[in-house]
Amino acid sequence: MRELVILGTASQVPTRTRNHNGYLLRWDGDGILFDPGEGTQRQMIHAGVSASRITRICLTHVHGDHCFGLPGVLSRMALDGVAHPVHLHYPASGDEVVRALVSVSSPGIDLRLHPHGGSGSVADGLQVRPLKHRIETYGYRLEEPDSRTLLPERLTETGIEGPDIGRLQREGALAGVRLDDVSVPRPGQRFAFVMDTAPCPGADELADGVDLLVAESTFSNDDGGLAGQYRHLTAGQAGQLAGGADARTLVLTHFSSRYGDDSAPLSLQAREKAPGTTVIAARDLQRIDFPQRRRWPQERTAAADPVDTVTPQNSSSRGGSR
């Protein structure tokens, strides 16, 4: 299963209907929690998701609305007796704050700290890029490798069956038959998380060609001056980010309390800049399915229905930083 569970959508000030930040990405067998703000543990209960499913936690920066929920989540995981390692990624400059938050949580889980700085890979398939905020801030990009999907009818035509299928997958060719002859490309899926930033190259790199982009939309276009002053995005800038990057779905969030519950104008401003992108204004406790996998031209004209997938190692491996 791949889905995004929205735990909170407020920015600095929560409202009666919007909790502080919190986003749980369910990615096959992994649960990646992004920016758990105050109240995240309770929001998970309301959303019907278990803290024991979390395998990785990613903090963009250490402003309170993005990390003050960390002790509660870790304490709940300890209470539940979570046995698997939990990897915590965060900017190195926030190490003192993160360690303080960890110190007031209940002990008992195998928590592994991974401070990072600069661009690069922090785990299998997980990349970071610097953003442009008032303190050191990083966005995250999760990328699944491209692979291929086998076509049973073509396998039958070539007489390849049983253990020979595995050999063909491993070696790329067998008895004059190439893997490309009996399969079609399977594009990997991509996800990006961009919080608290002014427009910058790092945001563009993170968003490039993703299937699902979560981006802050703190201010309306009418308050562009405030967005520039505090280094946040307007709804229009979030839309421009998604449209320029050819992102398939844009999830707007991190809304200023000044706009109340009405996010429709912000959605409209974003759509005007990204007419080819599906735009969703996030609501607390909402579940957003990952978009269907992209299909390449060869796949649309394939004679057989692809049912057997050749998949590399899960891109959100539970291993530590690399």
Which domains, and CATH codes, for the chain? 2-146+186-289 (3.60.15.10)
Which residue is catalytic, options 30, 35, 65, 284? 65
What pLDDT does residue 296 have? 64
Segment (H or E) for 126: strand 126-130
The pLDDT of residue 295: 76
Segment-wise mean pLDDT, segments of 10 residues, the chain, 322 residues: 98 97 97 98 98 98 99 98 98 98 97 97 98 98 93 93 92 92 93 99 99 98 98 99 98 97 96 98 98 70 44 40 33
CA torsion, points 16, 20, 21, 23, in degrees to nearest 10?
Answer: -60
56-58: strand order across its sheet: 111-116, 86-91, 56-58, 30-34, 22-27, 2-8, 287-289
Q: At 165, list the tokens.
A: 């299928």
* Residue 179, C-beta contacts closer than 8 angstroms, at least 6 positions apart: 148, 168, 169, 172, 173, 310
The single-letter code of the amino acid at 224 is G
Clarify whether 261 is annotated catalytic. Answer: no
Tell me how many degrees the CA angle 64-67-68 measures, rounded to the nearest 5: 65
Cα separations in angstroms, 28 against 54, 55, 229:
12, 11, 39
Residue 302 has a pLDDT of 45
Strand, coil or helix: what is 112?
A: strand
- Residue 9: predicted pLDDT: 99
Cβ–Cβ under 8 Å, residues 143 and 25 = no
Residue 294 confidence (pLDDT): 85
Return contacts of 172-179, CB within 8 angstroms, 24+ apart.
179/148, 179/310
Q: Among 139, 121, 142, 122, which residue's Cα sits nearest to residue 130?
A: 139
Helix spans in the chain (H): 40-47, 70-79, 95-103, 152-158, 163-171, 201-207, 224-230, 235-245, 264-273, 297-300
The kind and range of the H/E element at 194 are strand 190-194
Q: Is 185 helix (H, G, I), strand (E, B) or coil?
A: strand
Sheet holding 120-123, edge to edge: 120-123, 126-130, 138-143, 190-194, 212-216, 249-253, 278-281
